[in-house]
Chain A
Amino acid sequence: MSPDKRTMTLNLTEQEMRVLEDLCVRKDVSKTALLRQALRLYQMVDARLGRGEKLFFEDEEKKKAELMVV
């Protein structure tokens, strides 16, 4: 069912690894699954910004802050 997968080595700092592991626990997924999600999100955001759209976060008081993505 799943397409062929490629394997890579990822070098992270201690802190980055801790963040990754913490996110995996909270989301109940493995590091691979979490990084695949991150890649999809990054591609989606990049494509929409590329089309001239903007990305905002809105707080509980409806104040909006634009997120700048590199």
Chain B
Amino acid sequence: MRTHVTIIDFKTAKPVEAEVFDEVTVDHFLEAQQEWRPIVLRAARELARRGARELIPQHLHWDWTSKAPQLNVLANIFYGVSYDGKLQGLMKVETVGEYCRCRLPEQDGKPLVYVDYLEVAPWNLKPLAEALGNTPRFKAVGSRLVEAAVLKSVEEEFKGRVGLHSLPMSEQFYLRVCGMTAVGRDVAKQNLLWLEYTPEQAGRFLSGVRKP
């Protein structure tokens, strides 16, 4: 699957055409590790030096290459966003597994698409880009990946139901930008906030992100 989507160029505030795809390979994992991780670490060191500990990314230890064996498992689907031949974001979702059950009372026990990992290239994250003296490159990469998760949920007949555990620094993105419901802290998962989409919320999100 390859779909054209728009993301926003930070400098010009104009939309540019990017691609969302699910044909993710080990090469994409290597690209993320080789091109993203050194920037994430450099930005984290700079933020620590400035005493801005609250801005240090909580995903700095992620290693996409360790997920290579999961590429052949039907329950896992990986998505990427690319622009101009460069990877701008990566996401892993699960359609079956421990966390693929709704917890919101009105949809308790129904299946959902679980977003296990979602990472945006460090040059698109404002705190990291600015820590290194740069302007962020693109907006809406994360929203495009969430949109892909919702569309997968619709395709699987889960009606747009999506769930995830959010890192603390991403909670406001999922609550305010994506409009998900905060269900509660999960003590079994590092006390991370569990968020969920109902079909209605997912529908509202899709109509919002698809506006020109």
Which residues of A line the B interface, CB within 8 A?
1-3, 26-30, 33, 36-37, 39-41, 43-44, 47
Contact = CB atoms under 8 A, between A and B. Distances in A.
Closest 3 CB pairs of A and B: A33-B157, A40-B75, A40-B74
Given A27-B110, A33-B156, 11 more contacts: A2-B155, A3-B1, A28-B111, A29-B158, A37-B95, A37-B96, A40-B95, A40-B96, A43-B74, A44-B73, A44-B97
Interface of B: 1, 3, 73-75, 95-97, 109-111, 151, 155-159
Given A37-B96, A37-B111, A1 B157 contact: no
A1 B73 contact: no
B156 A44 contact: no
Nearest to A48: B73
A33 B154 CA distance: 11
A20 B90 CA distance: 35
B1 A30 contact: no
Contact of B73 (A27, A29, A43): A43
23 contacts: A1-B1, A1-B3, A1-B151, A1-B155, A2-B1, A26-B109, A27-B110, A28-B110, A28-B111, A28-B157, A29-B156, A29-B158, A33-B156, A33-B158, A37-B111, A40-B74, A40-B75, A40-B96, A43-B73, A43-B74, A43-B75, A44-B96, A44-B97
Contacts of B158: 29, 33
A56 to B, nearest CB: 12
A40 to B, nearest CB: 4
A55 B64 CA distance: 26
B75, B109, B111 interface centre (most CB from chain A within 10 Å): B75
Nearest to B75: A40
Contacts of B97: 41, 44
B74, B95, B109, B110 interface centre (most CB from chain A within 10 Å): B74
Nearest to B109: A26
A23 B105 CA distance: 19
A37 B110 CA distance: 12
Contacts of A2: 1, 155
B109 to A, nearest CB: 7
Contacts of B151: 1
Nearest to B159: A28
A44 to B, nearest CB: 5
Contact of B111 (A1, A3, A29, A39): A29
Given A2-B155, A28-B110, A30-B157, A41 B75 contact: yes
A43 B158 CA distance: 20
